[in-house]
Homo-oligomer: A and B are copies of this chain.
């Protein structure tokens, strides 16, 4: 994984470029220009050129970037080629969906194990991933050096789970519970509140219709 300093805003756009580049035919697009990418994604050309320049060498004059090399460079930069393990706490429907999603591997991630607060969920399996009681979380994370945890519990358990993750040595948490979590400053927390994102999409829909 590269260590270049790239702003959060640029970082957040890099996966969009990868998704787009993978959606086009490499045979028909051996090379691609930042202008073409910008046009297809509805972004400014200067922005796309700067974004790409921040992680890779410039393309060939008149031809642009080799599409395959560009995908490879972006994926390497984002760590998609180095595997890292993560765990999920909250083995309900969303947790189960994440545990059984095979696509994480393409992003350098392996969601290896699920934990649940309810003992009746323990020792069950989602696809081939085991669910253990959350009391085993600390031992497991320390033994296998797990640094990334995903919270998919109901809101009322999320803070407790967050605290347990921190005690277990987890340093980065993706939180799907619609609650604001308190954690020490050195812990990275990313909240994904799907319902509020859907509500914002709706707000934008009505603003657009009324404008």
0/1 interface trace, chain A 62-97, chain B, CB 8 Å (1 if under): 000000000000000011100010100000111011
Binding site for B on A (CB under 8 A): 1, 3, 5, 8, 11-12, 15-16, 18-20, 22-23, 40-41, 78-80, 84, 86, 92-94, 96-98, 100-101, 103-104, 106-109, 147-148, 150, 171-172, 174, 178-180, 186, 188, 190-210
Main secondary structure, interface of A, reads: helix
Quick one: which of B19, B94, B109 contacts A199, CB cutoff 8 A?
Answer: B109
Total copies of this chain within the assembly: 2
- 30 CB contacts below 8 A, A to B, read A1-B203, A1-B206, A3-B207, A3-B210, A5-B207, A12-B200, A15-B193, A15-B197, A19-B178, A19-B196, A20-B180, A40-B180, A78-B199, A79-B199, A84-B202, A93-B100, A94-B101, A103-B195, A109-B195, A147-B205, A148-B198, A171-B205, A174-B197, A174-B198, A174-B201, A188-B201, A188-B204, A188-B205, A188-B208, A192-B197
Measured CB to CB, the nearest residue on chain B to A148 is B202
CB–CB A172/B200 < 8 A:
no
